[in-house]
Structure formats: structure tokens, C-alpha cells
Structure 1
Amino acid sequence: MTTFPVHTKESAPKGSQPALEQLQSAFGMIPNLIGAMSTSPVLINSLVGLFEKVHGGNFTEAQVQIVLLTDAVTNGSAWAVAFHTTLALKEGIDPADVQAIREGHLPKDATFAALSGLAKTMIEKRGRLNDEDIKRFLAAGFGKDHLLEVIAAVTASTITNYTGNITRPPLDAPFQAHAWED
């Protein structure tokens, strides 16, 4: 098995260090996945640009976490599922809705179901949504701008999901209570 280093701010390549500082400020720590990702300054800096936009866009943080948790499950990224489960619960999302997503189902909350369903469909269809997929999302009260914004969230999570699946960093202690297997 190929192993990847889990960098700290001090051990990371110089080009990754500013991104690590930004993400440490956002999370209060440098999660192991981010430490592994920082092996590539190009990758970590790409994530930071998207991260700021996704978490500062039109969706609430709870809605963002619904999309990111759905993406992690759909992409089979165990590290990201545990991480986003922790963050979703911290945002006050009903534990039953979080568990539904972890099991590959839609949450009961209608708004969350529309977001989760769109994110999963977008990944599974590789962005080739049909008119019905789009109408279903818009009928839930979202705008076309929201639909396109989900693309940014899916893109950001794809970066972390694929990185986690390739680098397989150890699951950080704060997320171990929500460990997940595909």
C-alpha cells in the first residue's frame, strides 16, 4: 500500500503552508486529510479557493453539510463521511436525517432531501441531469443559481473525497465516533 505523509504547517511544502493556515483557522485544527492533501500545493490551493466560495455562498452551513455528506457517501469516502457527519450534527441537523444519508437514503426534511437528491444524482449521472432532475430541484423552492452552486460544492467535495480515497489518512480522533464503511 502506498502511504502519503500527513503534513503539519511546518512539514508541508512551502506552497501549501498558507492554505494550511487558512484551513486551520476554519476548522480549529488541520485534519489529517488536509495534511495529506497538502503534499500537492496545486491541490490544496484549489480546494481553498472553492472552500471559501462554497461556505460563503447562498446555502446555509447546514445545507452545505447535507450536500457534502451526500457526496462523501456517494463517492464512498469513509474519512469524509465521518468528518461531514460530525459537522452536520454540529450544525443541528436531525440525527435521523444524517443517518438516512449515511445509509444512502434521502433525509425526511424536504429541503435537505432536494439538496441531497440533486447532489447524489449529479455525481451518479456525472453532471448529465435531465429536465426532470432539474424541475424536481427547482420545485423544492431553489433557484437556477442554487442549482449551479451545487456544482461548486460537488466539485469541492470531489477533491476531498478522491484525496481521502487515494491517500487513506488516519481518521482524526474528533471524528472517530462517526466512522463509516462503504
Structure 2
Amino acid sequence: MSASVFPDHTLESAPAAARPTMEAVTRKQGYLPTAVARLALSPELLNGFLKMSALFETTTLDPLSRETVIMTMADRNGCHICVAMHTARLTALGADAGVIAALRDGSLLPDERLEAVRQFTLAAIETSGAVDDETLQSFLAHGYTSRNALEVVLGIGAYTMSTLANRMTAAPIDPQLAQFA
């Protein structure tokens, strides 16, 4: 997409409703990610995604399980920015290199528990939430809860917005994330 269709907004050029969020992201990241600069065109989308993402971070799913949901969405939807960003996050969390590689290419995870959340995420997407009893029981058998199943849906919702919007705006990977691309 042309940058004129989805411009790289600055704090000065962005819609007023996006500016506080852009300032907060810049403070937290140390720079303004291009994806945020482009999503700022719709303050509602930008703010909605970041609020949903923040809510997802407060769920009872452990950090590696949350990142598994996110990377499953990023790989499935082909969001190169999300893959790079969440590869960096997984690296910071000390995730196993084999887990990261498998999440990046959508292959079987070497960690059985994380593979269960990956499979559950894919099943929830493919069935529009109507997962069968066997799929749900397999997820629960790996130490997850019914609450976690609903939290996966929250992650799917948040990262559907993010991955689709990032692909639509064609934001490039920022230099700060290049090593994780």
C-alpha cells in the first residue's frame, strides 16, 4: 500500500485522539514504531488494539502461553511485523530457541504444553469457536483451564485486529526489530 493511503503519522500530524497513545508507546519502546504511526490514522483501532492487548497480558495464561497464541496468529495471518516483535519478546522471556523457531514457521512445538495451546488456538479459529470436546479436553489435560480457553479467544480477537491492520498498512519492520525479522 502507498504511504499516502496509510501515512507514517508523527505526534504532530496524527489525529488528536491517537496522540496520547503514540506518546505512551514512544516512552515505553524508546521510539515510535512505524506500525503505530500508520495505525494512528484510526485512533479507535490503535487504542482498541492496545487496550485489548493490555487486557490479554493480564489473563491467567502464563507469558509463554500468551506469546504462543500471539505467534500462532502472527504466523497464520502472515504478519511479519508481529513475528519480529514477538520473536523479540520470546527471546526476552528466555524461550527455548526450538520453540521460537517452530512458532515462526508454524511447525510442531517441542514443548507439549505450548503445542496444546497452539493447537487449541488454531482449532478455535478454524471452528469459529465451536471446538469439539476432544480438542477442549486435550487443552485442559495440559494444565489449562476453562478460563484459559476464553482467554485464548481474547488473544485471537486482539491479534486478529493487529495482524490484519499491520498487513493492510504494509508497515515495514523498524530497524530496532530487524535482528528478529
What TM-score do the two structures reach when normalised by structure 2? 0.90
Q: What secondary structure is seen at the aligned counterpart in 2 of 1:85?
A: helix
Unaligned runs of 5+ in 2: none
Aligned length in residues: 179
Partner residue, 1:48:
50
Summarize the Cα distance change of 1:30–1:127 in structure 2 as closer, same or farther, 3 Å threshold: farther
Q: Percent identity?
A: 29
Shift of 1:127: 2.4
Q: Distance in 2 between matches of 1:50 and 1:25?
A: 19
> 1-side partners of 2:101 and 2:91: how far apart?
10
* CA distance in structure 1 between the partners assigned to 2:58 and 2:28 by the alignment: 12
- Structure 1 counterpart of 2:125: 123
Residue aligning to 1:94: 96
Q: 1:27 to 1:58 in 2, by over 3 A?
A: farther
Aligned-pair CA distance for 1:10 = 2.9
Residues 9 and 147 of structure 1: is their aligned pair in 2 closer, same or farther, counting only changes over 3 Å? same
Q: Is 2:37 aligned against 1:38?
A: no
Cα deviation, residue 112, structure 1: 1.3
Query: Shift in Å at residue 42 of structure 1?
Result: 1.1
Alpha-carbon contact 1:115-1:137 (below 8 Å) kept: yes
Report how far residue 44 of structure 1 moved.
Answer: 1.0
* Equivalent-residue separation in structure 2 for 1:12 and 1:29 (angstroms): 16
Task: Say if 1:33 and 1:160, in contact at 8 Å, map to a contact too.
Answer: no
SS at match of 1:7: coil
User: Please, which of 49, 66, 69 is the counterpart of residue 67 of structure 1?
Assistant: 69
1:2 is matched with which residue?
2
Q: CA RMSD in A?
A: 1.6
The alpha carbon displacement at 1:26 in A equals 4.1
Q: Equivalent residue for 1:82?
A: 84
TM-superposition CA deviations, 1:89-148 (whole Å, max 9, x none): 111111111101111113111221112221222223332312221111111111100000
Distance 1:129 1:25, change over 3 A: farther
Q: CA deviation at 1:27?
A: 3.4
Q: 2:20 is paired with a residue of what secondary structure?
A: helix
Match of 1:155 in 2: 157
- 1:137-152 maps to which residues of 2 (within 5 A)? 137-152=139-154
Which stretch shifts more, 107-116 or 65-74? 107-116
Write the letter of the residue equivalent to 2:61: F
Aligned amino acid, residue 104 of structure 1: G
Report the secondary structure of 1:107's partner residue: coil
